[in-house]
Amino acid sequence: MLSLDNAYAEEELLAWHERLERLLASGERPRFVVEAKIDGLSCSLAYERGILTRGATRGDGETGEDVTANVRTIRSIPLELGAFGQAVPEFLEIRGEIVLYKEDFKAINAALLAEGREPFVNPRNCAAGSLRQKDPRVTASRRLRFIVHSFGAWRPDCPVNGHCEFLAAAKAMGLRVEPHRVFDSIAEVAAEYRRFKEAELERLPYAVDGLVVKVDSFAQQRRLGATAKSPRWAIAFKYPAQQASTVVEDVVFSVGRTGAITPVAKVKPVFCAGVTISSVTLHNFDEIERLGVRVGDTVLIERAGEVIPKVVKVSRRAAASRAIRPPADCPVCSGRVAREADSVAYYCQNPSCPAQIKRSLLHFASRAAMDMQGLGEQVVEALVDSGRVRVLSDVYALRLEDLRALPLFAEKRAGNLLGQIAASRKRPLDKLLYGLGIRHVGERAAELLAQRFSLEELAAAGEEDLQKVADIGPVAARSIREFFRSGEVRDLVEQLRKAGLSLRKIERPQNADSPLAGKVFVFTGELARLSREEASERVKALGGKTSGSVSSKTSFVVAGDSPGSKLKKARELGVAVLDEAAFLALLPKGLEP
């Protein structure tokens, strides 16, 4: 389930429209469907021969949470679809939003307060919490609603030709569809954006943060395609961030997985953008100095969509205001705090700090790293607080009785988690390197390093050797060297070796006869026929390499639609530039899209 790109101003909407016109055939004008962008919880429903068989949350876009038992209790979700045309589809995956009406949200919070319990902060969080209840009877009592916005699969072939027809079909099958409007020009869409804000936005029974604009024709949608993250044929046209004034009452400090200390302002609770805000990030101490913010000041804060609230400016200085200073000691472990060179952040210097261990373990177990499903926040909290995990390698020493001793685990759940941990031992070295959380080493850098070094070789490599790897500059090389210089890290590597993890470098097949062998490609802009990830995989399959930055080592820059600064850098360095057609011409038969 992809996410949508956002536009916050009419100029951004017009720029999106111009991209559509460049990608479509000359003179081909799209028709647009405009719907309210409902601020709910994304959900997927699978129907087989008309019978509801599965409900799942969006999760990370590829893997979600099974909530089938709970979605069955939502009255607006039919357990059996009505016929569309002569029959129901053999398989239909419907997508939409789980929402809670504002009046129902108020009633739930009033009941929670009457019981002396913590209320929900907004309807979306309440809907998410209600859908994930272990007891479906609780979900049933919360009056959730499901509103359709699209589908992911329709088999056999979808019998409708556009989004408007799909919405009509969904309604005919008994699914709930909200009102939508159709326009022939982007100017009409912009006018609807203004009209909707004035006439409808505040009157709707549920939270809305903008409009969704879609190309109606499915044929045009297919030609426009998608990037790795978003469809090109749709955009969320959001309303500007909402602002509010409040008072900074105190500042607390949170500790991240790298030890970075982030100042967080505790403010007088204020309602803004559908949420009661009591905490606002201050980012770092350079930002505090730039804003000139002090405890006691009245500040203007801003929140847009799901973005963390931030301070925009100081509105009024209090007579008895207090300066905000970096902490001398870590607020979690009381370890020494220092500001590192070339960094705006202050860091806890204690690698055994519990806050760092918790966040490091969550990162280590994430899908992009060691992929241990079931090792979420609650489990990590319990494992670290109980002392069962003090360093990352301890997770591989966990036994069934260790997990069963924790309140969170019954035998089946404990067994499932141990199975996930065992399976992670087979993950390749690049996933382990990324999971270790080395500063300045992301997924791409981890992959390049794992192709050049084994873990033992990487631990012993000097900065000059590291900088011979594409995308590894002086800052990353210094960070890697400092990381492996630590005695705790050397011990960790040894424990991971004993646990049976793969520490060998990744061997990629050699394609010496390929015209791409040994060539370094950089992609910029959006490709029409391939995602950049797909194009990169084809380059690697033919013995080539990809990089995220342009340098004298770059062989080709492939420029798609709306290229960025990499194209300018390529021209400055005299690097060969290919358009998408020229790149595809390099691919042998069988690898072209």
Whether the Cβ atoms of residue 583 and residue 576 lie closer than 8 Å to each other? no
Nearest-5° angle of CA 58, CA 63, CA 64?
A: 45
Question: What CA–CA distance (Å, rounded) separates 483 from 477?
Answer: 10
Whether the Cβ atoms of residue 427 and residue 455 lie closer than 8 Å to each other? no
**HSE toward the beta carbon, residue 360, CA cutoff 13 A:** 25
Question: What CA–CA distance (Å, rounded) separates 317 from 327?
Answer: 23
576: β partners = 556
Going by C-alpha positions, the residue among 215, 218, 213, 217 that lies closest to residue 235 is 213
Question: What CA–CA distance (Å, rounded) separates 66 from 294?
Answer: 46
Beta carbons within 8 Å of 51's beta carbon, 6+ residues apart: 79, 80, 81
**SS3 annotation, 307-333:** CCCEEEEEEECCCCCECCCCCCECCCC
Kind of pairing between the strands at 545-546 and 520-524: parallel
Cβ-count burial 448-457 (b if 16+ within 10 Å, e if not): bbbbbbebee
Long-range residue pairs from 572-576, CB within 8 A, at least 24 positions apart, any chain:
575/550
Q: DSSP class of residue 203?
A: G
Going by C-alpha positions, the residue among 471, 437, 452 that lies closest to residue 549 is 471
The type of residue at 130 is S
Measured N-to-C along each axis, helices 354-364 and 377-385 cross at an angle, to the nearest 10 degrees, of 140
Q: Which of 37, 310, 519, 540 is catalytic?
A: 37
Burial class of 240 by CB neighbour count within 10 A (0 to 12, 13 to 18, 19+):
exposed
Whether the Cβ atoms of residue 395 and residue 432 lie closer than 8 Å to each other? no
* Phi-psi sector, 305: left (phi>0), alpha (psi -120 to 50), beta: left
The type of residue at 21 is E
Is-catalytic flag, 313? no
Question: What CA–CA distance (Å, rounded) separates 139 from 69?
Answer: 10
- List the 545-546 sheet strands across, edge first: 545-546, 520-524, 556-559, 576-578
Question: What CA–CA distance (Å, rounded) separates 11 from 198?
Answer: 20
The H-or-E segment that residue 152 falls in is strand 145-155
Whether the Cβ atoms of residue 337 and residue 330 lie closer than 8 Å to each other? yes
Question: What CA–CA distance (Å, rounded) separates 483 from 466?
Answer: 13
Taking CA atoms, 576 is separated from 97, 212, 557, 567, in Å, by: 46, 39, 6, 10
Give the residue numbers annotated as catalytic, written as ranges: 37
